[in-house]
Structure 1
Amino acid sequence: MAAKYEIIIYWSEEDNAYLAEVPELPGCMADGASYQQALQNAEVVIREWIETAQELGRHIPEARGKLMYA
């Protein structure tokens, strides 16, 4: 993955899966049965999000690194 976007991963009881959100890319989200699978799926979705934005001529936000604090 060329860009280093923050990925937030958490367990969702409602979805019975791990969810992976990418806050800097609106609507960019993935899921998985395991933490690792959610992370892998998020990496794929990030690439697809960027490819789609490029095809549509839309702005691609620069990765800013850590955005949230625990």
Structure 2
Amino acid sequence: MPKKLKYQMVIQWSEDDDCFLVGFPDFPGQQWRTHSDTYQDALNNGIEALESLVAAYQATGEPLIETLEELQIVANLWIETAEKHGRKLPDADLAIAKVKLLSQ
């Protein structure tokens, strides 16, 4: 059975860019991989970007990065930031479940 790999996805509101930025700290390179005006779209874009990163590593034969920590999503910060801007976030558990599903 293949080993399950889990990666961190960081979604952070950027005042400067006026959007949510998405990054993967476990992968080297640029800090932010994608973005969106809404949290839900940022999450969806992040999942797509992560799938592309994993596919690129596999296509080149480069070993995938293994993390020592479980998936970490700083839901309270996202909720606080979104509420500060009058935005409603989807249920944090749903976001965590979607990203965990991707890593299976």
TM-score interval w.r.t. the shorter chain?
0.7 to 0.9
Unaligned runs of 5+ in 1: none
Residues 15-67 of structure 1 deviation map (CA, whole Å, 9 limit, x = unaligned): 22100111112236221111111111000000000101111111211243246
Q: Whose helix fraction is larger, Structure 1's or Structure 2's?
A: 2
Amino acid at match of 2:6: K
Aligned to 1:65: 70
Alignment of 1:2-13 (within 5 A): 3-13=5-15
C-alpha distance in 1, partners of 2:42/2:73? 19
Matched, 1:42 2:38: no
Q: How many aligned positions are there?
A: 69
Structure with bigger strand share is 1
Task: State the Cα distance separating 1:6 from its structure 2 match.
Answer: 1.4
Moved over 4 A (4+): 66-70
With normalisation by structure 1, the TM-score equals 0.77
Distance 2:18 2:57 in 1: 30
The gaps in structure 2 that reach 5 residues or longer are 78-104
Give TM-score scaled by structure 2 length: 0.55
Equivalent residue in structure 1 for 2:23, among 14, 21, 24: 21
Larger Rg: 2
**AA matched with 1:29:** R
Return the offset for 1:13: 1.8
